[in-house]
Amino acid sequence: MKETNIGLRNYMIYQVYIRSFSESGTFSGLIDDLERIKRLGTDIIYLLPIHPIGLKNRKGTLGSPYAISDYFAINPEFGNLEDFQRLIQRTHDLKMKVMMDVVYNHTSRDSELLKAHPEWFYKDAKNQPANRIGEWWDVVDLDYSQSQDLWTYLIDVLKYFAGLGVDGFRADVSSTIPLDFWFMARRSVEKVRKDVIWLSESVQGPFVKMMRDRGFNCHSEAEMFQAFDMAYDYDVYPEMLRYLDGQIELSDYLQCLVRQEQVYPHNYVKIKYLENHDTPRIAGRLKENHRRILNWTAFMTFQKGAMFVYNGQEYSSTRQLSLFEKESITQERDISDWIAILAKLKHRKVFAEGEFTPEIIASDGLVITYENKAEKIMGFFQLGEKPEAISCSLPDGAYRNRLGQEKVAVKGGKIDYQDLPCVFLFSKPGGKHHHLIHAGAKR
């Protein structure tokens, strides 16, 4: 959106799967842990769907939260409406925002909407409610071409929850829904609550092509930025996995990051994640290598966009939570303090408005620089399995690492530090911040 505030790039979003987040699996269980989540540096708590789940064709024992039976209701598994309102209020008291998942591509096969308005749904060759993606056999798809009344109904749902105090909406599979609907939704919700944040789960490129080849409408991510403030990183995430699997070089991955600067609006905001509810845990992918986990967490924070943490990531959890059962988050190695340090850095204005420059400095090492009129910040990261010497263009001297406060030596164009990542901060004349950032170096 033209009106999108680039300050969203400074935010940290913490994703919560209520069912498996706490022992109780309820809103109350989350409320009890909000202060800890706040200490991580969280700005937005994003909740997976909170509505009742359909019974027909249910996946697993408890069903997918994305097979919704009633958009206006609260899943009794999590609590009641009053519990949800308490969650909103307590989150606001702690100066955080609440974002909720909205699933407008489909409903459960026994949804209240299907019972009341079967004409609003996509039909197969036998004129029966169906879905466009076969593996999603627990849901049926909505058809936005059938009635403007469907648009009004779904927008009323958004207005209802915005009226309760919800600050943002994450739109599931948003690319399959007409852009004109999202334009209308934003205008309508704005009348109820100002400055609501809109996050698009726009889909990966191959999915867009597949849907279009089948004759269905599906928007590219660049199109989705016309209606949304933020979008997932699905154009780049597959390349990250290919790099981790040794299929491409670091330079190939970085080219994808730079390409985002070229194809998206000047004020685009991506969410930058290592994992979410649809992906394997990053700690498992990195074989629980603590040094690599810390480097990758810092590297992802330095990418251009909002920082994103999935519940359990702060404990280096390797268990990928099932969407269809209740499971516990494993707590393996706590990196909460590390995430908090990074989130505090991420709140600096330079990450929102500064010039973003990534550069390779070793086979699996890179530096990312942000620079604005007030300051310059440089992050050095080692992403490979083994530490290696990394190049540095800074003058020889001792520099303070903003991630640990220790001094790091630069000697002969190399950083004499091969363990954790390094972040150096430089203030400029007239800038607001004047920190001692290095000692003994020639300027």
Instruction: Point out the least confidently predicted range of 116-120, 175-179, 190-194, 401-405.
Output: 401-405
Residue 401 has pLDDT above 50, yes or no: yes
Whole-angstrom distance, CA of residue 442 vs CA of residue 139: 65
Supply the pLDDT for residue 443.
Answer: 28
User: What domains can be seen in the chain, in order of their start residue?
Assistant: 6-347 (3.20.20.80), 356-439 (2.60.40.1180)
- For residue 430, name the pLDDT band (cuts at 50, 70, 90): low
Across residues 222-246, what is the average pLDDT?
A: 95
pLDDT category at 328 given cuts 50, 70, 90 is very high
Query: In the prediction, which pLDDT does 418 show?
Result: 67
pLDDT of residue 383 exceeding 50: yes
The pLDDT score that the predictor gives to residue 441 is 37
Bridge partners, 426 (sequence order): 376
pLDDT value, residue 436: 39
**pLDDT at 434 exceeding the cut of 60:** no
- Least confident stretch, 202-206, 328-332, 368-372: 202-206
Q: How confident is the model at residue 35 (pLDDT cuts 50, 70, 90)?
A: very high
What percentage of the chain carries pLDDT values higher than 90?
Answer: 88
> What residues are paired with 231 via a beta bridge?
200, 270
Q: pLDDT band at residue 243, thresholds of 50, 70 and 90?
A: very high
pLDDT at site 202: 86
Query: Exposure pattern of 313-351 as b/e (b: 16+ CB <10 Å)?
Result: bbbbbbbbbbbbeeeebeebeebbebbbbbbebbebbbb
Task: Report percent pLDDT > 70 for the chain.
Answer: 97
pLDDT at position 142 is 97
Q: What average pLDDT does the chain have?
A: 94
At 406, is the pLDDT very low, low, confident or very high (cuts 50, 70, 90)? Answer: confident
Q: How confident is the model at residue 190 (pLDDT cuts 50, 70, 90)?
A: very high
- Report the pLDDT value the prediction gives residue 437, as an integer from 0 to 100: 43
Query: What is the pLDDT at residue 388?
Result: 86
- Structural contact between residues 23 and 77, judged by C-beta atoms closer than 8 angstroms: no
The pLDDT value given to residue 432: 46
- Which pLDDT does position 429 carry in this prediction? 76
On the question of pLDDT at 199 being above 70, the answer is yes
Query: Between residues 205 and 336, which one has the greater pLDDT?
Result: 336
pLDDT of 286 higher than 70 = yes
Lowest-confidence region among 78-82, 314-318, 392-396 = 392-396
- pTM over 0.85? The answer is yes
Q: Tens digit of pLDDT for each residue in 132-171?
A: 987 788 999 999 999 999 999 999 999 999 999 999 999 9
pLDDT at res. 312: 98
**Residue 299 in this model has a pLDDT that exceeds 70:** yes
pLDDT of 329 > 50? The answer is: yes
pLDDT for residue 181: 98
